[in-house]
Structure 1
Amino acid sequence: MKIEHFKTMWGFEGDFETACIQAQEKGFKGIEGQAPKTKEERAYWKACLEKYGLDYIGEIVTGGDYVPSRHQSVQAHIDDVQSAIENALELNPRFMSCLGGLDAWSDEEFILFFTGAMEHARKHDLQIVFETHRSRILFTPWRTREITEALPQIKLTLDISHWCVVCERLMSTELETIRAIAPHVYHIHGRVGYDQGPQVPHPGAPEYKEALLSHQEVWEIIWDAQQTKGMEITTMTPEFGPDGYLHTLPFTNAPVADLWELNCWMAECEKEHFNGYTKKRV
């Protein structure tokens, strides 16, 4: 099995061609992000992806924004999935990663959402995977385990940094639950969280070494499960981002680190980590 990294569009403020150039120069396999809503911009994205030989992972965000509207219906969330898939089709996505649903929903509502979303993906012969995320259905490891048991066909994008915040501890304490859901994990978002936040100031800082090692322990469990299933490629999107995630200095609001540098550091770190993991398994 080999590892491939994707550049997130979250927090990127330049034009799309610049994003593609950055991704290519740093050895990223492709781009992950929401497809543009206009046909003209999608054509531009497609041309850039082809020009720089990059793949694309489509992102779906339901409920209006990254933190969903509290009172939108399940059907409205399903409709968002349909629209996002239709926008992404001409970009030939490798798969769609969905930030979907609402944490307050009942069992009946989450089953209705997941089955509806998966049906839309199936109609277009696309793989859809659902991200573990605060404010969403998959907001704790235990809820996620219950859902994988109720819907054995479901596939996940794993981002445990959110669970560190919700549970107020590193996921090293929950490895039994991680192992139970590991066979469902298709994609990883590589951000390092800690017990009081979803993003450490810098994953290479010695004061956050325990947090980094904890995340790497979980990722190895996922890689074990993926290899057992015969997957030849594992994908990871380093996803350090803005919007309250990136630490800033008081009064000036100056960022303590550069997002692109953080994500490049994470990609290089995990290339080295994965190589060591692979050698250890031989």
Structure 2
Amino acid sequence: MNIKFYAPHWGNTLSFDSFCQNVKSAGYNGVEMDLPFESSEKQAILETLQKHDLELIGQYWQSFESDLEEHAGNYEKYLRNLIEAKPVFINCQTGKDYFSFEQNKKLFDLAAQLSEESGIKIIHETHRGKSLFAAHITQNYLHNIPDLRITLDISHWCNVHESLLADQQAAVGLAISHTDHIHSRIGHPEGPQVNDPRAPEWAEVLQTHLNWWDQIVRIHQKNDTVLTITTEFGPADYMPKLPYTQMPVANQWDINVHMMNLLKERYGV
């Protein structure tokens, strides 16, 4: 089957050209990132990606406005900016956890309209603080909006529900059946990111995530569809830091490359 891997731009401190060179050398297919509005800056990013033969997943995360109309206006502005770049698709952290179902649905409907107009697929991420922040909440959205497609970053749900979700198998199973894209971060009951997934003390938590991803892979294999994965371990403060020195306890880049290679080997990519 065809699985493609993307590096997160989040946390990068290098020049964009050097970053893209490292992404390509590591074996990624592309980059997941947001884009600036300034046209020359955006064009330089797109040209650098093209230079290194890297694909783009557009990323929207800028959900701050509590007023729905203002929120929707900025949502559309950011999505149209990403659509102009013609990414592989757009991944959205849509809505707010305190918006009602009807309020968040207006945003999902707006995204669907923009997707239909542009031909660019727009999917929605399971993320704390946003509309799909919890397993049971997402289950309700998926029951009521059956064509909704998602990015499953299940690490957030482990944190929100303070568990590995053994008591929410129906909700998790429904989410898995709607998943087009994975963020392969490992969460745990007390946080959205383990300090280092290579450490033996996280073996059970890692295996639980692998079991979830295995199910998604089997669905895409059966349907002969492309599955995309962004290895989205984040920098400090997502990455735990040592007290006083404030040094990250591990290397973000190394962990993300490790996750990509682990999954490539597991799935025969």
TM-score (norm 1): 0.91
Which runs of 5 or more structure 2 residues have no equivalent in the other structure? none
- Structure 2 Cα separation of the partners of residues 172 and 45 of structure 1: 42
Q: Which amino acid aligns with 2:213?
A: W
Distance 1:117 1:74, change over 3 A: farther
Quote the offset at 1:124 in angstroms: 1.3
Of 146, 153, 158 in structure 1, the residue corresponding to residue 147 of structure 2 is 153
One of 259, 264, 268 as aligned partner of 2:257: 264
Aligned to 2:206: 212
Taking the aligned partners of 2:266 and 2:191, their CA distance within structure 1 comes to 23
- Aligned with residue 168 of structure 2, among 162, 169, 174: 174
- 1:105 and 1:241 map into 2 onto residues whose CA distance is 26
Instruction: Measure the CA separation in 1 of the matches of 2:167 and 2:5.
Output: 27
Matching residue within 103, 106, 116 for 1:109: 103
Give the letter aligned to residue 248 of structure 1. Answer: K
SS in 1 for 2:168: helix
Matches within 5 A, 1:75-94: 75-94=69-88
Secondary structure in structure 2 of the residue aligned to 1:157: strand
Q: Please name the residue that 2:7 is paired with.
A: 7
Trace 1:114-263 onto structure 2 (pairs within 5 A): 114-231=108-225, 233-263=226-256
User: What is the CA-CA distance between 1:174 and the residue it aligns to?
Assistant: 3.0
Q: What displacement does 1:142 show?
A: 1.1
SS of the residue 1:171 aligns to: coil
Instruction: Give the TM-score normalised by structure 2.
Output: 0.95
- Greater shift, 166-175 or 252-261, is seen at 166-175
Q: Which amino acid aligns with 1:6?
A: Y
Instruction: Measure how far apart 1:75 and its partner are.
Output: 2.7
Whether the 8 Å contact between 2:4 and 2:228 is mirrored in structure 1 is yes
The answer on whether the counterparts of 2:152 and 2:175 sit within 8 Å (CA) in structure 1 is no
**Partner deviation per Cα, 1:45-81 (whole Å, 9 max, x = no partner):** 1111111111100001242xxxx34xx2223332233
Name the SS for the 2:163 alignment partner.
Answer: coil
Conserved in 2, the CA contact under 8 Å of 1:157 and 1:188? yes
Task: Confirm or deny: 8 A CA contact 1:62 1:101 kept in the other structure.
Answer: no
Over the matched positions of the two proteins, sequence identity in percent amounts to 32
How much has 1:82 moved relative to structure 2? Answer: 2.0
Aligned to 1:29: 29
Q: Tell me the CA shift for residue 172 of structure 1.
A: 4.4
Q: Which stretch shows the higher mean deviation, 180-189 or 48-57?
A: 180-189
Q: What one-letter code is carried by the residue in structure 2 that aligns with 1:14?
A: L
Q: Could you give the per-residue CA deviations for residues 159-180 of structure 1, whole angstroms, max 9, x where no partner exists?
A: 0000011000113443332222
Kindly provide the amino acid, as one letter, of the partner of residue 54 in structure 1: L
* 1:164–1:193 Cα contact (<8 Å) kept: yes
Q: What SS class does the counterpart of residue 11 from structure 2 fall into?
A: coil
